[in-house]
Structure 1
């Protein structure tokens, strides 16, 4: 019996690129069958689209496919988990539906996995960082900080675009973090992984859903999920401020006792209040972020809720809480 390849593709308001992406899936299915002898099953996850994306995909898809429609927008991280939960293939490929992940790189990753039985996961690593020099340096600093004092490293510029063995996909579904940071979870899970460099293609339509604010919030999600470094940095700053205050106090005492210099009162007092008050507020806010993550996990709500699943032209009503 031929091995199966499940292609997982989450989408949110991608009606403009739906037809083009289905064409890519069809070409990929033919190429996978010819090169690797695998049968392909397509699993698309509708993350609460409002532009008729699911209906457009359903009308264009062919072969073995299903569309998992979530009850609302839960975010890409949860949508990827929904796809993994519905996957049963021997091999699993995760890719975006905006055509920035090409067929050639997909085939290259599958080939690397098939040819090397010692490898469990092959992931695509962006070899060019778009945006300003400042943004690239901030990204580099982010990975350097989040990977410090860890037993594992989160690869820089690597996202969800990857292929893995079915056993790895099943293992990942056992990780039910409510506040999900897939880059960290993929690295935390371990297994033998290999990187393949690639350059993202241009979007087929629409605009990126990732705003600057979303990227900052996503980065904070990563820190609160996988690193204690922010707390340690704030603690170190507080310790340095305490030493600076102690040194200043010794200086003032020395000047009063030996030189009779009059100590300025109001300005120095305001500087101390503003500095220490700002540090305390920053620390409280950071602790609040960690507490919020802990509270979200303790509530034990499902990561996502499925509205229904489309199979061909039929609709199967389901109500799983995942």
Structure 2
């Protein structure tokens, strides 16, 4: 019996990269994985260029192997990953980026390790970030250090979404149909036997990344909110400290009034600073609590993770 490997590929404005990706992965398929049946699921996340026409052409060329789903609008990469996993029919499922920053030459080793039942998932991690802006590299490393310190779910630093999983792990991921998704955390949270292969960072083969620094920042905040309650604990600690300081201040004022003749206070600027400080803590606390409540609010609506406009 021939095993089927489903390859899930989220795409957004990647008309130039898709043909290059197919050529590279098919080269690996024909040379090293001839005993495996390949199935491609491209998930078009509401692209504005000619990504969809290119996918249609690929489907016409390989109707039995190349499939696609086109969203009604941009729902984000997390929604695209979920859609791809839910559509994949293979015994094993791979997740890859279309820009070839995920080396296709690692695919045979990843597949063989999972197919031999040594591992339930073999993922990848970058050991360097050559070519990236230093600011992005700094904040990326800071994020991994922070979330691994405050969360019980440990995320491998530099981990990519690029991985091969068996059907058991894919079904576990699909059993969590939550609206707010952070796949790097979910991959770790489900457990199973996982291994990571290391590789040097590679440049995109074509096009430009759609991830801005602000997008990555929001994504990291989502990850912290989804997998840690530490921000709520921080709010509680700040509230407790403010309360204790106010009690000590009140005691100080009472003692000075009782034992000193001149109890007048002339330093109104210092009072303004204190009021602004306390007000800032309150607004920060409201913002953190509000972010958690917003997540609950979105989940309670039970809206679909994505909407399709076309599928082949």
TM value normalised by structure 2: 0.90
2:287 to 275, 285, 288: 285
Give the Cα separation in 1 of the matches to 2:36 and 2:147. 38
Residue matched to 2:50: 52
Shift of 1:161: 0.8
Aligned to 2:275: 273
Q: CA deviation at 1:104?
A: 1.5
Counterpart in 2 of 1:20?
A: 20
- In 2, the alpha carbon distance for the partners of 1:60 and 1:85 equals 21
Pairing of 1:131-280 with structure 2 (within 5 A): 131=132, 135-148=136-149, 150-255=151-256, 257-258=258-259, 260=261, 262-280=264-282
Residues in 2 aligned to 1:8 and 1:89: alpha-carbon distance in whole angstroms: 11
Show the counterpart of 1:314: none
The one of 41, 44, 53 equivalent to 1:43 is 41
Q: 1:302 to 1:270 in 2, by over 3 A?
A: same
**Mean Cα displacement is larger for which, 40-49 or 195-204?**
195-204
Distance 1:136 1:237 in 2: 30
Structure 2: how far apart are the matches of 1:264 and 1:250?
19
CA distance in 1, matches of 2:48, 2:93: 27
Say whether the 8 Å CA contact 2:126–2:200 is kept in structure 1. yes
Following the alignment from structure 1 to structure 2, what is the Cα–Cα distance between the partners of residues 200 and 220? Answer: 24
Q: 1:264 deviation in Å?
A: 3.0
Query: 1:200 aligns to what SS in structure 2?
Result: coil
Cα displacement (A) at 1:175:
1.0
2:293 is paired with a residue whose SS is helix
Q: Give the corresponding residue for 1:319.
A: none
Inter-partner Cα distance in structure 2 for 1:285 and 1:97: 36
- For the residue of structure 1 that corresponds to 2:124, the secondary structure is strand
Distance 1:2 1:245 in 2: 71
Question: In structure 1, what is the Cα distance between the partners aligned to 2:254 and 2:136?
Answer: 46
Give the direction of change, closer, same or farther, for the CA distance of 1:128–1:59 in structure 2 (3 Å limit).
same
The answer (yes or no) to whether the contact 2:58–2:66 under 8 Å persists in 1 is no
Q: Does 285-294 or 105-114 show the bigger shift?
A: 105-114
Do the aligned partners of residues 145 and 202 (structure 1) sit closer, same or farther apart at CA in structure 2, a change above 3 Å counting? closer
Kindly provide the CA deviation profile for residues 74-113 of structure 1, in whole angstroms up to 9, marking residues without a partner as x: 1001001111111111111100011111112222322332
- Classify 1:134/1:240 alpha carbon distance in 2 versus 1 (closer, same or farther; 3 Å): farther
Q: TM-score of the superposition, structure 1-length normalised? A: 0.87
Instruction: Sort the Cα spacing of 1:32 and 1:175 in 2 relative to 1 into closer, same or farther, 3 A.
Output: farther
CA distance in 2, matches of 1:24, 1:156: 27
**Is the CA contact 1:22–1:60 (under 8 Å) kept in the aligned structure 2?**
no
Deviation at 1:246, TM superposition (A): 3.9
1:298 is the counterpart of 2:300: yes
Q: How many Å apart are 1:67 and its aligned residue?
A: 1.0
Match of residue 5 from structure 1? 5
- Can you list the C-alpha shifts for 1:93-150, whole angstroms capped at 9, x where unaligned? 10001111111222232233234x2310111011113546654443334233323464
User: Compared with structure 1, are the counterparts of its residues 142 and 241 closer, same or farther at alpha carbon in structure 2 (3 Å cutoff)?
Assistant: farther
Aligned residues: 307
